[in-house]
Structure formats: structure tokens, C-alpha cells
């Protein structure tokens, strides 16, 4: 564990070559596992600042991965990415190498060698928005805004990392399985994805004269 944390800190300090913007503010994907957007935010607690990272699939608005930590080193965003990969594998819908884009801002955690190496190993293309431009990651900004509005602000004051972590887990479950999202037809993200896979599995009927 100590070795892993040390590697993450070293990777956080070493930046890789800046990746191009592969989505150009187009946050509409044609299927799951085509484009994930990522970012993190912070929450003040009595025990200190807690950082929460999220990974969202732009097709369904589903939060596929997240992580909470007292540190904002590269390991935070890597843990969120690894949860997303694990979540899709567990659901039987793993990403296909070469088809998935991971988009983020130009923060040092997202441009670190640590994350770049893991994305490359997983066959996921890295995409980076322009510096200081929130619109280049607007969907992620919107998700974090809802997180703050629906959970963090009403739940204050927060006391510990564990309290924030447990509450976030419950909120993510509600957000993905029960919250209605207008952008996808007023259904929860998981239901929207199930409908997509159901349609995709149906045999195509070809009309004949």
C-alpha cells in the first residue's frame, strides 16, 4: 500500500504530454462506453478537506466510478477510473479497447503519468479540455453541481471522510437507479442503459415486398 501511494505521488508530480481534446464539447454518445468524463471536487469537514472524484458515462449520465480521499493526489482519480472499469465488467458490459474516450480538464492529476499509463494499459484514449474553460467539461460540471446541491449543502456540517464517503455511495446509487433525468427522457441512467441493450439485442426485421 505504501509503495502504491508513493508511486501515485510520483506520478502526480510527473506530467505526461498534453492529450488533445477528442470530443470538442460534444457530450452526446451513441452508446455506453464510448465517452466518460471525469473531474473531482472537495467538501469541507470537521476533520479536514475531503476530495471526491467522479467518472460519468455521457451516453446515460450514469456515474460509473467515484472515489473519496483526504488526498488529491493522482491515486484519487485513478481509483474512480478503476471503479468504472470494474463496474462495467461486473455488469457484463465491459468497454472495448480502442472505443472509449476518457475526457477531463488539464489538472495535474489527469495529466499525470500515473493515469496516462493506466488509460493506455486499459485501451482507453485520453482527452483533455482547454485550460480554464469549464464548458470543455460541462457535463461533469453539471453532475458535480447536482452532487453539491442535492447532497453536500443539505447535509452540512460534515464531520469525517467516512461520513462523506457513505453518504456519497448512497447518493450515487439513488442518482443512477432512481433519480429521473430530463436529458434522457425522464428515466434513471441505469434504466436508460438497459433499454439501449434490450433494443440492441433484438433481431432486426427486414421488410420484404
Tally: H helices and E strands in the chain? 7, 5
Identify the residue whose cell numbers are 506520478: 11
Q: Do 52 and 152 form a contact (C-beta atoms < 8 A)? A: no
* pTM value > 0.85: yes
pLDDT at 2: 43
Tell me: the pLDDT tens digits for 65-109?
Answer: 999 999 999 999 999 999 999 999 999 999 999 999 999 988 999
Question: Percentage of the chain surpassing pLDDT 90?
Answer: 73
DSSP β-bridge partners for residue 52: 41, 68
Amino acid at each position: 500500500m505504501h509503495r502504491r501511494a508513493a508511486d501515485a505521488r510520483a506520478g502526480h508530480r510527473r506530467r505526461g504530454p498534453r492529450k488533445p481534446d477528442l470530443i470538442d464539447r460534444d457530450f452526446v454518445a451513441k452508446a455506453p462506453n464510448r465517452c466518460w468524463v471525469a473531474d473531482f471536487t472537495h467538501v469541507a469537514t470537521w476533520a479536514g478537506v475531503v476530495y471526491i472524484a467522479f467518472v460519468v458515462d455521457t451516453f446515460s449520465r450514469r456515474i460509473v466510478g467515484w472515489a473519496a480521499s483526504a488526498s488529491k493526489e493522482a491515486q484519487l482519480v485513478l481509483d474512480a477510473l478503476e471503479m468504472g472499469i470494474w463496474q462495467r465488467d461486473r455488469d457484463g458490459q465491459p468497454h472495448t479497447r480502442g472505443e472509449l474516450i476518457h475526457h477531463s480538464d488539464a489538472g495535474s492529476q489527469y495529466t499525470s503519468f500515473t493515469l496516462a499509463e493506466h488509460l493506455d494499459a486499459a485501451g482507453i484514449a485520453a482527452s483533455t479540455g482547454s485550460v480554464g474553460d469549464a464548458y470543455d467539461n460541462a457535463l461533469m460540471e453539471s453532475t458535480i453541481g447536482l452532487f453539491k446541491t442535492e447532497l453536500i449543502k443539505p447535509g452540512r456540517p460534515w464531520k469525517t471522510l467516512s461520513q462523506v464517503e457513505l453518504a456519497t455511495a448512497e447518493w450515487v446509487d439513488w442518482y443512477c437507479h432512481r433519480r429521473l433525468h430530463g436529458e434522457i427522457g425522464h428515466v434513471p441512467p441505469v434504466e436508460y442503459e438497459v433499454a439501449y441493450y434490450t433494443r440492441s439485442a433484438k433481431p432486426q426485421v427486414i421488410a420484404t415486398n
